[in-house]
Structure 1
Amino acid sequence: MSETHDSDASLSDEVYKAMLRDILATRLPGGHPVQQRRLAEHYQVSRSPMRHAISRLEGEGLLIRNGKAGLVVRIVTLKDYLDSLTMRELLEPQAASLAAVNSDNDALGALRSDFAALCEDAAPDPETVWAFDHALHGYIAARSGNPFMNSVIGEMRRYTTIFERQLPVVRAKPGMQEHGEVLEALENRDADTARDAMNRHLRVVREGVMRNY
């Protein structure tokens, strides 16, 4: 990441996104100390944009103050996970129902193409799998048409993603069958089926995590 020809604001946003990706992928694991100088060297930026990115992540609750340890990456506990998943279970089925009648054909076409490629790949890159997961759930939250629902679902998915990705046992292609059912319901503009499919998906997710915890 280079500072050349970029403003501090732009660099701050870039390093924020890079750190967020690393936290969600658990490359910056829970409990990891946040040392501004070392992180600035790692992301190849100066202290100023690094400081702003850290402040933003702290404000979002992904970095926390931990007594003598100072600022660290938040550890997502089982309780955090279950509380976040409960919120998703309350909101995402309704979001899927709304998204089904407020569809974007171009976006759905891109999702279908990505899903088909994952289905054909016996051993896909985990980052590709999670990128599709993020894209599908992000599409549903955004197409709900409710910005508050979109915001809360996005925040809760951060915590559930971190927790699931830190599990010692993770399926190569988690949720593919249920994702296919949700996607088909969205393509058919079937609100009731989309709601039911999302309910089923989140139930399967919960059951799978509890088996592997």
Structure 2
Amino acid sequence: MAEQETGTETSLADETYRALLEEILSAQLAGGVVIQERRLAARLGVSRSPMRDALGRLEGQGLLVRNGKSMLTVRVITLKDYLNSLTMRLLVEPTAAALACPEMTESKLAELAAMLRSIEDDPDPDPAMIWRFDDALHQGLGEASGNPFMAETIVQMRRYTTIFERQRRLAQRKPGLEDHREILAALAARDAEAARQSMTRHLEKVRQRVLSTY
């Protein structure tokens, strides 16, 4: 019975973590908001034990921080944080794209191409669909690179850039479609150098687009 209860608590903690992570990434829990543990637990319908576990994980990942009064708050992603994260992505993602070129499966490439076509064909695509495609492409490249350290770095750095963009509504309605088409074309051609260059251009354009708003 104890093992079953432990397993249930672990599952609840994982579910709670994923729910809170999505709320932070989507800016439902905005930067600077004070975390009210009891209220969050009641809203998500979980006990305080899995809630504390989930909050501890998010704090360990730097997405929750302590303010001057030692209260747990959602981290505010500054422009400096954003640019530093993009710099890390520029160091890692072009290489990940090159390494993924011979490894990404045809089925995964077809899935990504279908997602991109769906966005292109929709005059007013759901923003959630755009973010799902962006996640699938960038994280998929990290996974296909065969380097787990690269994959984890991409996940972590993209969390910061995603929070910044979504909280400030900087993403365009159909952002970077041409860039994404170029990246997918390079992957489909198994051209590692073209994939590297396409990813570099894409991230540089993202940086310039954000800087132009300041």
TM-score between the two structures when normalised by the length of structure 1: 0.95
Gaps of 5+ in 1: none
1:68 counterpart residue number: 69
Q: Amino acid of the residue matched to residue 140 of structure 1?
A: L
In the alignment, what sits opposite 1:183?
A: 184
- Return the alpha-carbon distance in structure 2 between the equivalents of residues 54 and 210 of structure 1: 32
Q: Percent identity?
A: 52
- What is aligned with 1:47? 48
Q: Which residue of 2 aligns with 1:127?
A: 128
Q: Any idea what SS the aligned residue of 1:64 has?
A: strand
- 1:166 alignment counterpart: 167
Letter in 1 for 2:187: L
List structure 1 runs of 4+ shifted beyond 6 angstroms. Answer: none
Shift of 1:197: 0.4
Q: Secondary structure at the match of 2:69?
A: helix
Q: CA RMSD in A?
A: 1.3
Tell me: CA distance 1:20–1:144, structure 2 relative to 1, closer, same or farther (3 Å): same
Give the whole-Å Cα distance in 1 for the aligned partners of 2:42 and 2:178: 42
Counterpart of 2:207 in structure 1 is 206
Aligned-residue offset at 1:169? 4.2
Q: CA deviation at 1:126?
A: 0.7
Alpha-carbon deviation of 1:14? 0.6
Query: Alpha-carbon deviation of 1:170?
Result: 3.1
In structure 1, what residue type is equivalent to 2:62?
Answer: G
Could you say what secondary structure the match of 2:171 adopts? coil
**1:87 paired residue number:** 88
TM-score, length-scaled by structure 2: 0.94
Which 10-residue stretch deviates more, 85-94 or 66-75? 66-75
